[in-house]
Amino acid sequence: MTKTNSRESEYPVDPMFLDRWSPRAFTGAIIQEAELLTLLDAAHWAPSSANNQPWRFIYALKGSEHWEKFVSLLNESNQEWAKNASALIFVVSRSFNGARGTSEERPSYTHSFDAGTAWGYLAIQARISGFYAHGMGGIKHDEIKEKLDVPDGYRVEAGIAVGRIADKSVLSERNQEREFPSQRKPLSEIASNGHFVGNG
């Protein structure tokens, strides 16, 4: 078992997996594009079915001309805190394999799974690089497609806020109350040997 960050694993996992969590309190510090690209580089070393690499990342850096538009593409409850992040990323994935309009084109079963793996890599690299990454399902999917020119056949998966952690006093009272590393279900509820366990 590993203990860090008010978390304790049941088996001896690397502390990095417990150190990664999703704060909402960010400093609003500027991030260099090369620092963000380091996170995206890690993300795109994720494995994917047949090495199709269906993930696409559309990003904006705080202080850039795209920033306000990206903030406006989050749901209001996420805007409230994510506007203080250093970068915002939308993860999009290609939902078909093979070249468009050819006999090779067919639906992908695993594109979202693959893109999720890439997000996980990004979140771990963020910690290694001294940042935190916070995933967001609360985003304006249709508007993102339209305003960021996402073509048909690509699924808008999620948003990611990346930043340097700040004291929780920068948050609203409601968000301050939930600003801590969360716990997990016991492993026995989600992992089973030989047959399915975990319905509930």
Ligand X SMILES: Cc1cc2nc3c(=O)[nH]c(=O)nc-3n(C[C@H](O)[C@H](O)[C@H](O)COP(=O)(O)O)c2cc1C
Residue 56: strand pairing partners: 92
What is d(CA 146, CA 162) in angstroms, rounded to the nearest whole number? 23
Residue 123, classified by CB atoms within 10 Å of its CB into exposed (0-12), middle (13-18) or buried (19+), is buried
Nearer to ligand X, 21 or 57 (CB): 21
Residue 103: CB minimum distance to ligand X, A: 34
Nearer to ligand X, 26 or 53 (CB): 26
Nearer to ligand X, 52 or 175 (CB): 175
Residue 121: CB minimum distance to ligand X, A: 13
Residues that bind ligand X (CB under 6 A): 21-22, 78, 135-138, 158, 181-182
Nearer to ligand X, 186 or 194 (CB): 186
What is d(CA 79, CA 134) in angstroms, rounded to the nearest whole number? 13
Residue 81: CB minimum distance to ligand X, A: 7
Can you read off the two tokens belonging to residue 99? 């070249």
Residue 137: CB minimum distance to ligand X, A: 4
- Look at residue 192 and give its three-state secondary structure: coil
Residue 100: CB minimum distance to ligand X, A: 27
Nearer to ligand X, 15 or 181 (CB): 181
Contact 42, 125 (CB under 8 A): yes
What is d(CA 196, CA 110) in angstroms, rounded to the nearest whole number? 21
